[in-house]
Amino acid sequence: MSASRTQTDRYRHDNAERLPVEVLVFETAPEHVDEFLRVDHEVWTLGEALLPGFDRIPFLSKEVWIDDAHPGRVTLIFVWESIEAWQRVAAPEIQQRLQAEFDARFRHPVTLVSAPHEDSNHGIHRWSRFERT
């Protein structure tokens, strides 16, 4: 790091964003987590990111969290660029097609444990982000 670099060059802080957040918590057998993650990425992440008719990826980010205290539990966090983009991707024909492809490729039981964004009527949103650069 250069001596002329200031403290604020080391981080970025964005606030007052109000970006919609989708949270999905799944459980599958611990021995199938790696396969679940691979198929989820290939079908859902890339399937939604590369949808025809969109001029860019409709979500800003997707994170996958694993909970070592609960083997087999996987949390997916999406930050969407807008509720409108999220709703376009949520169209039944898109979701049904991707779900059928996922089910054909991941043949193990998987349970949706929770979807907190639905409990809050899609009110969860990212207000700020502080990160190092």
Residue spans of alpha helices (H) in the chain: 33-39, 46-49, 83-89, 92-105, 116-119
* 1 — pLDDT class (breaks 50, 70, 90): very low
Burial grade of 116 (CB within 10 A; 0-12, 13-18, 19 or more): middle
Residue 121, in any domain of the structure: yes
Residue 27, in any domain of the structure: yes
Residue 4, in any domain of the structure: no
pLDDT at 102 over 70: yes
Domain that holds residue 32: 18-125
Residue 10, in any domain of the structure: no
Residue 132, in any domain of the structure: no
Number of domains composing the chain = 1
- pTM across the whole model: 0.88
Residue 1, in any domain of the structure: no
- pLDDT digit string (tens) for 34-84? 999 999 999 999 999 999 988 889 999 999 999 999 999 999 999 999 999
pLDDT at residue number 6: 66
- Residue 92 sits in a domain whose CATH number is 3.30.70.100
